[in-house]
Amino acid sequence: HMTEETMPAYIDRIRRFKPRFIQAYPSIAAILARYMEEHDIEPFPTVKAVLCGSENLYPWQRDLIREAFGCRVFSWYGNSEQTVLAGECEESTRYHVFPEYGIVELIGRDGRPVEGPGETGEVVTTNLTNFVCPLIRYRTMDAAVLGNAPCSCGRAYPLLEKVEGRLQEFIVTKDRRLIPMTAVNMHSGVFDNVAQFQFYQKREGEVLLRIVKRPRYTEEDTAWILRELGEKFEGDVDVTIRFVAKIPRTRLGKYQFLIQDLPLDRWGISEDEKEWRTESG
């Protein structure tokens, strides 16, 4: 329900409630943060940290939220199947995997476990808290980067350097490289006149970018965006822009920054499994 018209009421309610922490979807916290920056609204003095979960936290969102709220942004990672739980500590932005909650493996595209720090793999988990119907080596369809232990905080937990997000949150180039949405910085000045956006991909090396324009958007913004994305994608992805009046959220109130309509068989995932997982969230 957050709109330009209702945002002042949200801000007023937060100031009166005086929370120490705010927990939110990153996409929603970023909407509020952007409104605060554009209207020169001071940070909430009582808020010590913003806790983001249930969506991938992109670097541009972290920067925007931190600047607007004037505090540390923490990200945690888990799933509704309760097979994995990981979170950032006070010393770093790496994810500490709670080993008493579940066992986490990273499996590469060759089907073998990822072993070297900095390597990316699919998160495969075994939960240790479900005694009725335990899930063993459950394919989450999330991609993460293996971290290099130990952390300076002193906790002897397995580390994930970062969580790239769902396998559907990668743009596929003409030569079948995978580009994570984390590589696209929507907090740069290029997108100042964009209210909302969403990528859609149906063919390798091609994406459609849906944009909801702000009143001051011009053709110069279109040229700037295409030029910026051309550099990010190194010319391996053709971008087409389409202007829309609104971009709907999911049934859970989240924003999908990329709708990936390519088959996931390159990861050994069938179309039936993709459809089931999409429906089950």
| Residue with the larger pLDDT of the pair 186 and 119 | 119
Residues 152 and 219 reside in one and the same domain = no
pLDDT digit string, tens, across residues 76-108: 999 889 999 999 999 999 999 999 999 999 999
- Show which of 116, 140, 165 is a domain's final residue: 165
- Show which of 22, 47, 75 is a domain's final residue: 75
**pLDDT given at position 161:** 93
Residues 186 and 265 reside in one and the same domain = yes
The boundaries of the domain holding residue 86 are: 79-165
Residues 58 and 114 reside in one and the same domain = no
Which residue, chain included where needed, has tokens 């018209």?
5
pLDDT digit string, tens, across residues 9-52: 999 999 999 999 999 988 889 889 989 998 999 999 999 999 99
The predicted model scores a pTM of 0.70
Residues 187 and 257 reside in one and the same domain = yes
Residues 64 and 4 reside in one and the same domain = yes
CATH no. for residue 128? 2.30.38
Number of folded domains in the chain?
Answer: 3
Residues 134 and 103 reside in one and the same domain = yes
126 contacts 136 by C-beta, under 8 angstroms: yes
Confidence of residue 57 (pLDDT cuts 50, 70, 90): confident
| Alpha-carbon gap, residue 85 to 97, rounded angstroms | 6
Residues 236 and 188 reside in one and the same domain = yes
DSSP letters spanning the chain: ---TTTHHHHHHHHHHH--SEEEE-HHHHHHHHHHHHHTTPPPPTT--EEEE-SS---HHHHHHHHHHHTSEEEEEEE-TT---EEE--SS-SSEEE-TTTEEEEEE-TTSSBP-STT-EEEEEEEESS-SSS---SEEEEEEEEE--SPPTT-----EEEEEEEEGGGEEE-TT--EEEGGG--TTSGGGTTEEEEEEEEEETTEEEEEEEE-TT--HHHHHHHHHHHHHHTTT-SEEEEEE-S--PPPTTS---SEEE-S--GGGT--HHHHHHHHHH-
**pLDDT given at position 68:** 96
Residues 32 and 91 reside in one and the same domain = no
- Show which of 41, 75, 109 is a domain's final residue: 75
Residues 120 and 108 reside in one and the same domain = yes
CATH no. for residue 211? 3.30.300
**pLDDT given at position 265:** 55
Residues 135 and 148 reside in one and the same domain = yes
CATH no. for residue 9? 3.40.50.980
First to last CA, the chain: 21
Cβ burial, residue 261 (10 Å; 0-12/13-18/19+): exposed
Inform me whether the pLDDT recorded for 277 exceeds 70: no
| Alpha-carbon gap, residue 62 to 133, rounded angstroms | 36
**pLDDT given at position 167:** 65
